[in-house]
Amino acid sequence: MISGTTGVVYRFEVSQVADFSTIVAIVTAVPNGSGTTSMTMGELPFNATYYWRVRGSDGTVESPYSNVQSFTTPAPAPPPSTGGGGVPGGVPKGPGGRGPDNGPLPSYGENVVRAVAAANPGALQNSCQDSGGSWQFMDQVVDTLRTYDTRWGYNGKRGNTHDPSKDVIAYHYGSGPDEGSPDVYIIDIIGGHCGSNPSPIWNDVTQITLQSGTIGKWTGRGRF
């Protein structure tokens, strides 16, 4: 993009809207010496379209932006019948695999979380997404729970379904569609998340969330 100069640094901008009125990420990169330049981002939601553009600068001269390009993240693979964590799943309840409206919080959840953690210790240890970890453990737990009851999903922090919690899951107990419903039990499943020794836990934080003046909302995180 800038010829006849050295020490070029490229600025990549990524957005979910083509006019870049909001920016998801700004990443700087330097040429890797092979005639190409690349950049990496953290884990992205499934089935989401992103737009990107780039410009270069050597500290004095700055190029115009490149043409806008786009990419779409892939759809998630369906969970295995044994459960997403490679542990035995349950038999879905009721029509369509759903528990009853206004039902209690299912009692098997803690055993599922601990079984998935025991089967996948590396996934639990690598569950801090803010430090380069992945959603693997959370996805495995949710996928396994959904073999018991499809009311299980993720929790939108402070009621924002576009900001799913990275260590808390949700169970939709109410009627109507799951996505976006505030009628949820909210369960913390990773103790010491982002610490040196994360552990499987089962901590119902539904009431403390409400008492703190905020809410949770059910989300499938674009996976279902």
Quote the mean pLDDT of the chain: 90
Q: Is residue 51 a contact partner of residue 5, using CB atoms and an 8 Å limit?
A: no
**In the chain, where are the structural domains located?**
9-72, 95-219
Rounded to an integer, the average pLDDT of 7-14 is: 88
Strand pairing of 49-57 and 152-156? Answer: unpaired
Phi-psi region of 202 (alpha: psi -120 to 50; beta: other; left: phi over 0): beta
| pLDDT score of 94 | 84
| pLDDT score of 205 | 97
| pLDDT score of 36 | 75
Fold for the domain defined by 9-72? Immunoglobulin-like (2.60.40)
| Percent of the chain surpassing pLDDT 90 | 68
pTM over 0.85: no
Rounded to an integer, the average pLDDT of 171-187 is: 97
